Structure 1
């Protein structure tokens, strides 16, 4: 189940393997197990989660592949430094998201999106076929629904931005979908254009500008329109976070 879907439904898949990976992953990312810490041994972890050594070993392999941990002979399994973590991994991003959202996290997501998505939009303007652009316009048309809920508009938003990555025809761009999903999950949790019909219309118009620039083969225009969408979303989220923090103070 995706991060966005988990945020919407509040449910996540819970096989024995996924439970061990999820719990330990969240504990590492949140700092319960600090950088350089040695995790408890296999016997202790197997007893804690009620799983076999085989399930536990597979879970540890998954966490190792995400660069959160590293087994050391005669030492144990060590938590790696944060700089080693694969932050483009959907699970790692999700655990960072679940650990709490602050302005730094919002800014970091916006910065990396601004470094990548406008370039993807420019590539799409150069490379997308007429059929590709027609499909992107069909997705953008779905923003124009005054009855959108936060869930429904978040789904359309994710589909649109992933489609632009696909239209870039660059395989590296296609691989950052988890990053986009994390950013939209923050938006879903804190703020949404679905708060009012006016905001829905503004969101729709801004996304359609991206489509129109791509269709016109206007690389600079596509880049600028994508930057505008990212800036507006990040600012809306910052304002919502500030309002929440002020209300809690």
Structure 2
């Protein structure tokens, strides 16, 4: 289950391994378990979560693969500095979103999308097959629906951007799909374009421009159209965060 689907449905993975990974990973990324600290020993964690040592060993392997922890012989398992964390991992991104959204995180995410997705659109303009373009137009057409809910438009949005990553023919672009999904998950939570017919129309028009540029085999136009979509989304999310911050401010007395 991807980050967007988890955000929409609220469902979590249920097996013991996934549960312990999620509990410890979330605590590390949120700062409840500080960087540089040692995790409790197997006996304590086993008692806390009610799982076997085998499950704990697999959990530590998973967290180590995400670069959140590093086991050291005769020392224990240490939490790594956040500079080492794999933010391309969908779980790490999910835990970061759950820990709370801020302007810096939104900006960093947008910067990465700006570095990757316009390049993917340009590559798609050069490499997409005729069938690819037909598929992209079919997805783009589904934006134009005034009955969209935040959930349905987010799913179409994700499908559109992942299709372009695939059409780019570059496996590294496809591997970065977790970043796209994180951005759309944030949009779903904070400021969906489904809020008004005007925003739905704007999103439909902007994504159709990307499809037209790719179909026209015009890399530069594809880059510009993709950059515009990312920038509009970033502005919408920032405006939502500003409005939320103002709403949380204590009322001043006249």
* C-alpha distance in 2 between matches for 1:70 and 1:107: 29
Indicate the SS of the match to 2:77: strand
Match of 1:119 in 2: 119
Match of 2:33 in 1: 33
Match of 2:76 in 1: 76
Query: Displacement of 1:94 after TM fit?
Result: 0.4
* C-alpha distance in 1 between matches for 2:46 and 2:235: 45
Query: Displacement of 1:105 after TM fit?
Result: 0.8
Query: Displacement of 1:13 after TM fit?
Result: 1.3
Which runs of no fewer than 5 residues in structure 1 stay unpaired? Answer: none
* C-alpha distance in 2 between matches for 1:238 and 1:18: 32
How do 1:122-137 and structure 2 match up within 5 A? 122-137=122-137
Query: Displacement of 1:11 after TM fit?
Result: 1.7
| Corresponding position: 1:104 with 2:104 | yes
Query: Displacement of 1:34 after TM fit?
Result: 1.2
| Corresponding position: 1:183 with 2:183 | yes
Match of 1:56 in 2: 56
Comparing 103-112 and 1-10, the one that deviates more: 1-10
CA RMSD across the alignment? 0.6
Indicate the SS of the match to 2:36: coil
Q: Deviations over 1:169-205 (max 9, x none)?
A: 0010010111100000110010011001111011000
| Corresponding position: 1:232 with 2:199 | no
Which runs of no fewer than 5 residues in structure 2 stay unpaired? Answer: 250-254
* C-alpha distance in 1 between matches for 2:41 and 2:71: 11
Q: Deviations over 1:18-45 (max 9, x none)?
A: 0100000001101111111000000000
Match of 2:221 in 1: 221
Query: Displacement of 1:3 after TM fit?
Result: 1.1
* C-alpha distance in 1 between matches for 2:148 and 2:32: 39
* C-alpha distance in 1 between matches for 2:2 and 2:116: 21
Q: Deviations over 1:125-163 (max 9, x none)?
A: 001011101100100000000000000000000000000
Query: Displacement of 1:67 after TM fit?
Result: 0.6
Indicate the SS of the match to 1:67: coil
TM-score (normalised: structure 2): 0.97
* C-alpha distance in 1 between matches for 2:163 and 2:232: 20
Indicate the SS of the match to 2:22: helix
TM-score (normalised: structure 1): 0.99
